[in-house]
Structure 1
Amino acid sequence: MKGFWGCCFIFFCCQAFAQTSVEKIKFSKIELHSELSNSRVTSILQDSRGFIWVATEDGLNRFDGYEFKVYRNLPNDTTSLLKNSILNLYEDSRGILWISTSNGGLHTYNIKQDNFERIKEYNFNCEIGVITEDKDYIWIGGVKSHNAFIDRLDKISHQWKRSTLFRSENPTLFISRDAADEFWIGVRNIGFFKWNEKTNSVKKYSADKNNRNTIIHNGVHQIIRDPKGYIWIATEGGVSKFEIATGKFKNYSKALLQNHTAPLVDNTLSLCMDGDYIWIGTENGGLSQLDTRTDNFKNFSNIKNDPSSLPDNSVWVLYKDRQGRIWIGMYSKGLCVIDRMKDKFSELDIPLENDVVNAIWQDSKKRFWVGTENGIAMKDGSNVHYFNHSENNPNSLSSNPILSILEDSKQQMWFGTWAGGLNRFDEVNNRFITYKPDSERINSMSDANVFAIAQLKESGKLLAGTYKGLNILQDEKRGIFTNYRSDKFEYNNYIRTIHEDSEGNVWIGTIEDLALFDPHTQKIVSFNTSMDPNFHSVGGLVNCIVEDKKRRLWVGTNNGLYLIINKKYSKRYTIESGLKNDIVYGILEDNSGNLWLSTAEGISKFNPETNKFKYYDVNDGLLSNEFKANVCFKNDEGQFFFGGKGVNVFYPDSIKDNPYIPPVYITDLKLFNQSVKVGDKDGILTQQISEAFEVSLSPEYNFFTINYVALNYTAPTKNQYAYKLEGFDDTWNYVGDQRSVTFTNLDPGYYIFKVKASNNDGLWNEEGTLLIIRILPPWWETWWFRSLASIIIISVVMGTYKVRVSRITQQNRKLEDIVERRTRELAHQNEELLQIQQQISAQRDLVSEQNMELQYAREIIEKQNDEIILRNETLEAEVEERTRDLVEYNQQLEQFAFISAHNLRAPVARILGLGNVLGIIRNDPNEVNMIIDRIMFTTEELDRVVKDLNTVLELRKDNTSVITRINLADELKLVKINLEKEIEETHTVFEEDFSNAAVVYTLKPYLDSILMNLISNAIKYRNPNIPPVIRIQSQIVQEHICITVSDNGLGMDLPLYRDKLFTLYSRFHSHVEGKGMGLYLVKTQATALGGKIEVESQTGNGTTFKVYIRNQTSA
């Protein structure tokens, strides 16, 4: 009977893969935008810095986890590889990388120059098969002129010694020195030998089919030595293990391992130690893993339509890096890797006819049941059985799409199907019993689509959730069901999941709601309305319901994760709370109380106590980032299964973060998107950028990019980066997976670029790496030019000062001469008057009749005395006035120097800048003409400034002769032109109103300087958070014109700074550059124009200056 049903069913067994574990090893193919130079890999090596080097038949590749950098022969370049076909790679203890190429060629890699040094002794007619070393020597094995040889390079003296072994067409490919100073060597396709260097004698260990204690085959492909001292030999006829101490061989081949698993083929090409395991690459037989403790093999080969299987069955090269990854070089498919740290999640090792998984279960007999869109796959030990629907077999599955699975308390397996109702597997008779809706029976199932199956703990009754309500199986043999539907809410009849909690409450998840089934009232009631009127609605499709160890209920929906405590809504978790995606398909709780959530964007690990999430996706080994609703299972061993596209399997306690801290390197420097090469004509790099400590860039290279990388090959796309440029921005910029940064328009000076990175699990290399960048100044900003310009300006100012002082000294001398002459005249007149007075007194007694005349004469004398005194006082006042004029002239001279430097700076700087641009665009006539026009305009402006300064000099001679009529709007336009660069860079907006006073009669240079200082200060001390706005207006105030300049900038603490606001060299914002002269000049010039200045300001609310200028009529 059993055989009959086995034939009737579409039911068969297939031999499982050689590994009996339910987990499947994944092979990750290295496929990038930057391709490997050739698909045939000949050697693999990880250097001391962490880069992976891959040798191929057409070029050498350096891999950083993201892209390959390819090295090939360059014609006429002796620092390139001699040939493109690479044979061997080896890095010695000094960090020197050795490379051999076919048909002659041995090189060392110059890490500083990023090129190669050819070893001239090997340039022609030889082939290197092995490069290795011991404490004292570098050993080179090869073949030349049909002779196998071994060369020895002394590390200290750098002397070469050659030992010729025997005639051979093939090179030496293995050299190992033992304690007795004897060498074990292998020669490709020739055999295995012991060589004595001192006597140059060779002993061959030949294969003998009649003697099992010999090497299995003379066709040697690769030899390795394990830590226990055994030598493992890959040959055309299998693998041999040689014990040095006894001289005995142990062989592994298909013929010899009849009672054990064995490699799929005997032609073995490559070997790699991995702890207690040896990986064995074969020719057309895939990859084998030998457990040296049990001598059992596991075999891996390419599986059609399985991207995680071995890509190519011819494995040429195997290499284990320092982090334990196994790199696999193949004959035709390039490079792949086994990365246990990346593949945190494994695949259930069951070949599926359809990879859309809707249900998972492991039964009490440890069998795995997987329900797919195309039937059931069941793994029992090493065998896999498939169950499908057959139209001609009523005992087969009623429908292929499986929606739910359950093992009941009787150890019976139940399956919910799409359109096929409920199926029970009768294991005794190997058949399926089907329960479907029957229109002729009122107690049959209500619907044929069974999305959920559950069993009540107390009664043991089976519950089936369909799209037409809840069905409770009352009689298994007769197929009698009781149907329950919600009368109030139709959507509560579309049941997706069922869960009975620890208190016996039956929770039902529907397409729109969370509901409760009350067995006593036999009603389905919406939880949102019945239990708590203040409850936040569990909106959206309910995918799963789980109760944790603390009896908290967790509900996964398409609208987030909900927490329910004591039948009351507690909290909702969404993207805003830290979820990767709001759609939660499945929930499992681990032994530590963490919840593992399958979502529409991978799996999230959630700690309910800390509310922290950690995310995992396909880069961590998941088969897909999207899962199916409620397709999750936890077995008795605590192993988790999540399904969607295939089945992901893992132990949650084994999901560990990658502990490797990746080194960080700067990999490229680009100027205007072009990579800078070592030794380019500009001489920027004298060594490759990863080895450079400092670079200097000319000012014309104001657009440059820096590329960097963290050498973590485990899910490198999840590496995170942060950088900062000290001297420009001292805070770290966290840029995610971005591996380059571009800088533009940096000011001249020194900067330190620092970059750090994390691995795929967020472990940071806080030290990172750095590069000092020096931006050279343009010639007009160099120290020598500034020194020369300063000397010239100082010389001009000092010359002018000396001329002026000389003129004032001459005027002082003239005044002194006048005063001295007038004083002598007055003294002489006094003497004459005294004589006259004496004569009059003497004649008084004699000429009494002349009293009246004398009285009159006295009055005349007294009047003359008064005039003399008045004249003396007038002369003293003139001296004081002349002295005040001298002091004022000195002050105005200083002011003139400041105005000269201030007004000349901007036009001169623009002329120099335009001249520099003219040198760059000289090949474009249109742009050259535009720049020439700008130079002419700026030159005219410079001429106006010089004329204005001459006017100031004329002013010193005659103030009334230079009063001019000034249109304020036109004057403001000139100021804007002078500040054009600052206005454009800061996007300054002007609001002006000269309608009340459009014209003023005054001194133009002083008004120029006043407006220039006030507007430039408004721009300089702007608020960085808002665009600067400057308002300028004028009005007539009695005999003055009042010009008001207001801004919305930083403002100032006026009570604190009022006393020194208009003093020389006073500054009020330390973070903005300035010299503290502007307001001093404004006040001085306003006073000189017969006016004054007033200020209103508050910190953070801007500043208003009111300048009053006496409006003088034109001459």
Structure 2
Amino acid sequence: MIDLNEVSARGIIRLHSLVIFFLLLAGANLSGQTYYFDSYGPNEGLGSSKVYTVIQDTKDWLWIGTESGVCRFGGKSIEIFSADDSLSSGGVKSLFEDSQGTVWVGHLNGGLSIYNGKSFRSLLFDSLVIKGDITSIREIEGRLWFTSWLDGALSAEYDPVSRILVNIKQYMGAQGLSDQVFSSYIDRDGIFYCITDVGIKKYNAEEDRFETYRPDGLSNFFNVVTMFHDSRGDRWFGTHNGGLFRMDAGSGEFTVYDVKDGMSSNYISTITEDSRGRIWIGSWGGGITLLEEGKLRKFDNENGLDAMEIQCIIEDREGNIIIGSNSFGLQIFKGDYLVNYYSDRLFPDKKILAVEEDKFGRLWLGSNMGITLLENEPVDPQSWLFNEENRNVFNEENRNISNKIKFIRNDLDGNIWVGTDGDGIYRYLFEEDRFIKAEIINEILSSDLKITALAVDHNNNLWIGTLDGVGFWDLGNGVGTRYTQGDGLSGNMVTALLVSDDGNIWIGTESNIGITCYDHSTGEFRIIETGYNDKPQSI
């Protein structure tokens, strides 16, 4: 993270060069351009790689329905819930939070569960036996609606005293619906629709029955799979192999988008709109298409998105796009600022963890496979990037430095310092073109030598974050020490460091009691309470 407050005059020039470099990259037509998606699957703690549905509740938890149960994600760790937690058995097909804050869980094969904020409980539909998957759950004027793959739709009230569903009414063919309901939708006018094997059915509340909904211009040949009503009033219909249909709110006329227009696939599985008014279209087999200002952009496994079979897309309250997929778990898109330019001819590892420009204008890029040094001026970005003569790799095999690079920093004299994950601090010797391990500095650090943050203050001192306090090293006098919670830090596990414009050092830790400030004029630490139960990862 670059903070302009700690950039010197020379640093501003270096930062300007770095910005120009990445702007030149953006202007070059590089075949390696990719978008970055965070991925969460079984290896990251998700219960299954098959995700059916995702919601965010009013407490900001992400609830994820998977083939094996339900998971809850708060941004760091994933909790898995199953029948051992009093859930009904079976995977989770649908999720919904009602107006009272209760989370409803619809299972494969007809099971139903609720979470009341403290614990789960399985429920029954009174005397009815539901065998089909619960495909959706909605709330309309205090009544809950459940749709099923085999049992039509059910409307019911929940009695919190007896903790059962009462006053249940079932809707099937005789009520104008069908026994096979694939999903449901409530539009911006509050009208309830069911998407069935015989088309879209619209609920007529006055007559308490369903009727066929088929606007003039909507295909009769391709089955509608999903529908959406956007903020402009336009209505969208995704079909099975027939592309995307858009009904204009004013004229009622339809526009059709398919692969010839740039869609990722003609099989549309889900549609949503983000807070910027962009339409996200998930497909089955082609990834995602984004429609913005009349232009289509695709995300697929050629530019960063692993998932090709999309089950659901939502936007969370921070503006992240959350994607549930059939085979790759949960993927999260955090915005266009995370655009990568990558080729294995350029970098040994596409996950760049540290970037620094040295006093000669060369770029140092750290990853879990060592350091790549890019030399010379990027006059022609494309030819420069892929010229192997401009690339110099430092790693365990050839240059005596750890592969796991976390931080790269210049000191005020232009020396390069590197923080690693498990091998402490290294220094680059320009005259010998090699790294040496800073053994005397590493002696003051925690024994695991995992570096969690690295900064250089205005007096040319190194500040080194570790899992057990912060190391301080006076580069001029060659002496140092390590400060811990006993010396006034808010916690021992350091997560972030910042040198502010006034020369003070700001230290974030895993403790949630506040941020520590080191006053360079007094040599004392003080804890600043933020009022938030957060653990800063960067400052």
Calculate the TM-score normalised by the size of structure 1: 0.29
Note closer, same or farther for the CA distance 1:96–1:367 as it changes in structure 2 (3 Å cut): farther
Residue equivalent to 1:235: 283
Residue equivalent to 1:99: 146
| 1:41 shift after superposition | 3.5
1:121 to 157, 171, 182: 171
| 1:220 shift after superposition | 1.9
SS at match of 2:171: helix
Determine whether 1:54 maps to 2:97: no
SS at match of 2:85: coil
| 1:100 shift after superposition | 0.9
| One-letter amino acid matched to 2:189 | K
SS at match of 1:263: coil
Determine whether 1:271 maps to 2:313: yes
2:296 to 236, 240, 250: 250
In structure 1, distance between residues paired with 2:279 and 2:151: 29
| 1:131 shift after superposition | 3.0
Residue equivalent to 1:152: 203
1:218 to 256, 266, 278: 266
Are the aligned partners of 1:271 and 1:280 in contact in 2 as well (CA < 8 Å)?
yes
In structure 1, distance between residues paired with 2:231 and 2:85: 43
In structure 2, distance between residues paired with 1:456 and 1:241: 44
Equivalent runs, 1:850-889 vs 2, <5 Å:
none
Are the aligned partners of 1:142 and 1:170 in contact in 2 as well (CA < 8 Å)?
no
| 1:584 shift after superposition | 8.2
Note closer, same or farther for the CA distance 1:225–1:499 as it changes in structure 2 (3 Å cut): closer
Are the aligned partners of 2:495 and 2:538 in contact in 1 as well (CA < 8 Å)?
no
Note closer, same or farther for the CA distance 1:103–1:421 as it changes in structure 2 (3 Å cut): closer
SS at match of 1:411: coil
Note closer, same or farther for the CA distance 1:369–1:427 as it changes in structure 2 (3 Å cut): farther
Note closer, same or farther for the CA distance 1:254–1:409 as it changes in structure 2 (3 Å cut): same
In structure 2, distance between residues paired with 1:404 and 1:131: 48
| One-letter amino acid matched to 1:34 | D
Residue equivalent to 2:538: 650
| 1:612 shift after superposition | 6.1
Are the aligned partners of 1:81 and 1:107 in contact in 2 as well (CA < 8 Å)?
no
In structure 2, distance between residues paired with 1:586 and 1:295: 23
| 1:176 shift after superposition | 3.7
In structure 2, distance between residues paired with 1:60 and 1:612: 48
Residue equivalent to 1:765: none
Are the aligned partners of 1:279 and 1:290 in contact in 2 as well (CA < 8 Å)?
yes
Are the aligned partners of 1:141 and 1:173 in contact in 2 as well (CA < 8 Å)?
yes
In structure 1, distance between residues paired with 2:134 and 2:256: 29
Residue equivalent to 1:605: 515
Determine whether 1:43 maps to 2:123: no
Gaps of 5+ in 2: 1-31, 39-43, 45-73, 342-350, 375-384, 446-453, 463-469, 519-523
Note closer, same or farther for the CA distance 1:104–1:604 as it changes in structure 2 (3 Å cut): same
Determine whether 1:71 maps to 2:123: yes
Note closer, same or farther for the CA distance 1:37–1:226 as it changes in structure 2 (3 Å cut): same
Are the aligned partners of 1:596 and 1:604 in contact in 2 as well (CA < 8 Å)?
no
Are the aligned partners of 1:221 and 1:268 in contact in 2 as well (CA < 8 Å)?
yes
Determine whether 1:396 maps to 2:404: no
Determine whether 1:138 maps to 2:192: yes
SS at match of 1:650: coil
Are the aligned partners of 2:186 and 2:192 in contact in 1 as well (CA < 8 Å)?
yes
Deviation string, structure 1 residues 305-362 (Cα, Å, up to 9, x no partner): xxxxxxxxxxxxxxxxxxxxxxxxxxxxxxxxxxxxxxxxxxxx767xxxxxxxx996
In structure 2, distance between residues paired with 1:69 and 1:152: 30
SS at match of 2:94: strand
Residue equivalent to 1:412: 415
Note closer, same or farther for the CA distance 1:109–1:227 as it changes in structure 2 (3 Å cut): farther
Are the aligned partners of 2:135 and 2:183 in contact in 1 as well (CA < 8 Å)?
yes
Determine whether 1:284 maps to 2:327: yes
Note closer, same or farther for the CA distance 1:363–1:71 as it changes in structure 2 (3 Å cut): farther
Deviation string, structure 1 residues 696-739 (Cα, Å, up to 9, x no partner): xxxxxxxxxxxxxxxxxxxxxxxxxxxxxxxxxxxxxxxxxxxx
Note closer, same or farther for the CA distance 1:249–1:142 as it changes in structure 2 (3 Å cut): farther
In structure 2, distance between residues paired with 1:606 and 1:112: 50
Determine whether 1:432 maps to 2:435: yes
Note closer, same or farther for the CA distance 1:271–1:367 as it changes in structure 2 (3 Å cut): same
Deviation string, structure 1 residues 1062-1092 (Cα, Å, up to 9, x no partner): xxxxxxxxxxxxxxxxxxxxxxxxxxxxxxx
Residue equivalent to 1:925: none
SS at match of 2:261: coil
Gaps of 5+ in 1: 1-14, 300-348, 352-359, 437-446, 463-495, 510-542, 545-555, 562-572, 574-578, 622-647, 652-1115
| One-letter amino acid matched to 2:515 | K
In structure 2, distance between residues paired with 1:20 and 1:231: 18
Residue equivalent to 1:163: 212
Residue equivalent to 1:185: 237
In structure 1, distance between residues paired with 2:406 and 2:254: 68
| 1:596 shift after superposition | 3.4
| One-letter amino acid matched to 1:605 | I
Determine whether 1:31 maps to 2:80: yes
- State the Cα RMSD in Å: 6.1
| 1:597 shift after superposition | 6.1
In structure 2, distance between residues paired with 1:194 and 1:595: 52
In structure 2, distance between residues paired with 1:241 and 1:605: 40
| One-letter amino acid matched to 1:396 | N
Determine whether 1:111 maps to 2:158: yes
In structure 1, distance between residues paired with 2:253 and 2:242: 13
Calculate the TM-score normalised by the size of structure 2: 0.54
Residue equivalent to 2:507: 596
Residue equivalent to 1:90: 138
In structure 2, distance between residues paired with 1:191 and 1:457: 59
| One-letter amino acid matched to 1:120 | Q
SS at match of 2:282: strand
Note closer, same or farther for the CA distance 1:361–1:277 as it changes in structure 2 (3 Å cut): closer
Note closer, same or farther for the CA distance 1:385–1:47 as it changes in structure 2 (3 Å cut): farther
In structure 2, distance between residues paired with 1:616 and 1:379: 41
SS at match of 2:537: strand
In structure 2, distance between residues paired with 1:584 and 1:220: 47
Note closer, same or farther for the CA distance 1:408–1:187 as it changes in structure 2 (3 Å cut): closer
Residue equivalent to 2:227: 174
| 1:163 shift after superposition | 1.5
Higher Rg of the two aligned structures: 1
Note closer, same or farther for the CA distance 1:107–1:430 as it changes in structure 2 (3 Å cut): farther
Are the aligned partners of 1:263 and 1:285 in contact in 2 as well (CA < 8 Å)?
no
Residue equivalent to 2:48: none
| 1:110 shift after superposition | 1.4
Note closer, same or farther for the CA distance 1:63–1:363 as it changes in structure 2 (3 Å cut): farther
Are the aligned partners of 1:606 and 1:613 in contact in 2 as well (CA < 8 Å)?
yes
In structure 2, distance between residues paired with 1:270 and 1:174: 12
| 1:594 shift after superposition | 8.5
SS at match of 1:43: strand
Of Structure 1 and Structure 2, which has the larger fraction of its residues in strand?
2
Are the aligned partners of 1:218 and 1:235 in contact in 2 as well (CA < 8 Å)?
yes
SS at match of 1:53: strand
In structure 1, distance between residues paired with 2:282 and 2:406: 49
Deviation string, structure 1 residues 929-972 (Cα, Å, up to 9, x no partner): xxxxxxxxxxxxxxxxxxxxxxxxxxxxxxxxxxxxxxxxxxxx
SS at match of 2:121: strand
Are the aligned partners of 2:226 and 2:270 in contact in 1 as well (CA < 8 Å)?
yes
SS at match of 1:119: strand
